[in-house]
Amino acid sequence: MSAVRGRTSGPVDVLTFGETMLAAQLPGSLAVGAQARTTVAGAESNVAIGVARLGHRAAWAGLVGDDEPGRLVLRTLRGEGVDIARAATHPTAPTGAMLRERRVADLVRVHYWRSGSAASLLTPADIEPALGDGARVLHLTGITCALGAGPLEAVRVAAAHAHARGWTVALDVNHRQRLWTAEEAGRALRPLLPHVIALIASDDELPVVTGAFTDSPGGEARAVDALLEAGVREVVVKRGGEGAAFRDRQGVRHSVPALRVPVRDTVGAGDAFCAGYLSGLVDGLPPAGRLARANTLGAFAVASDGDWEGLPRRDELGLLAAAPGTAIR
């Protein structure tokens, strides 16, 4: 492997790693030859960009191919202010790719080319330099765990390293059925729970990490109880258009409604939510403030095209309070 550039200086606010891919976004069906817009996308780098836009120091320590898509990934992240000092390139494996087509109305279909990609070959050794630099928050996702044995082991090593040093470990379950089954995901993710400070999951992802069904009366509460008993300190449940909820081991509870915005593109909304929540953690906001910022970033994401392109900078956090159709002059 080859590093992208020299050693970073000092701990970052948020460290993350995973697969960032070449992304082709189509306004219609590929089968009829819709023209594509090329960009990059990946759950962890989406979060890193969202955090960096809010003025925090975010680092992404993933692995890309030594190819044009890999160079696009690195250039994009660097341009968005994400620290890529510990990112690296693989000499032979390619950068992964995804294609997102708007099939009909607001229904989006996503296709992936990940098998044998550089990121699927990630090992603990690849992230050791970034872990050595230090961070306040380590952000992990279930997607990285699903890429292969090496990435899963890297996540396990990173979680243990961060926990032992008192960092805040945040895990976004982010279950992808095309990568693995719920049962496989649960077996891989449950051993991480004692290291996790903040677990973030959509309401339908809670069974993945608990094995408890949440569609029965009281099911969600029992699932959250199980996570807190397993060692997680706080659980954040994303409920899409219904908002989000928070509960911790001290019994503190908060819920906030979703912001009402015109929906253009829901892909990336969960990553935006995570970025807002982590930003609130870094800023020392109370739970209600963290949820509010997370919901704000999620609303920016669904009201904009692209996974991360519409995410706000800090001085734009209040924009959604303006009346629809407002021209800010």
Give the tens place of pLDDT for each residue, 200-215: 999 999 999 998 665 6
pLDDT at 13 over 90: yes
69 lies in which domain range? 2-19+42-92+121-310
Flag whether 269 is in a domain: yes
Any idea which residues carry the catalytic annotation?
271
How much is the mean pLDDT over the chain?
A: 93
User: Residue 294 corresponds to which tokens in the numbers above?
Assistant: 């997370």
CATH number, domain of 295, equals 3.40.1190.20
pLDDT at 220 over 80: yes
Flag whether 32 is in a domain: no
CB atoms within 10 A of CB 97: 17
pLDDT at 162: 98
pLDDT at 247: 97
pLDDT at 216 over 80: no
10 pLDDT band, cuts 50/70/90, is: confident
- Radius of gyration from C-alpha coordinates of the chain: 19
Q: Mean of the pLDDT values across residues 5-10?
A: 58
CB atoms within 10 A of CB 37: 13
Q: Which is more confidently placed, 1 or 298? A: 298
Q: In which order are the strands placed within the sheet that holds 168-172? A: 58-60, 12-16, 135-141, 168-172, 198-202, 234-238, 244-248, 253-256
- Most confident option among 103-107, 258-262, 271-275: 271-275
3 pLDDT band, cuts 50/70/90, is: low
Q: Mean of the pLDDT values across residues 163-175?
A: 98
Q: What is the total count of domains within the chain?
A: 1
Q: Mean of the pLDDT values across residues 258-273?
A: 92
Flag whether 258 is in a domain: yes
325 pLDDT band, cuts 50/70/90, is: confident
Q: Lowest mean pLDDT of 9-23, 24-38, 233-247, 290-304, name the range.
A: 24-38
- pLDDT tens-digit series, residues 115-163: 999 999 999 999 999 999 999 999 999 999 999 999 999 999 999 999 9
240 pLDDT band, cuts 50/70/90, is: confident
CA atoms of 23 and 45, how far apart (whole Å):
13
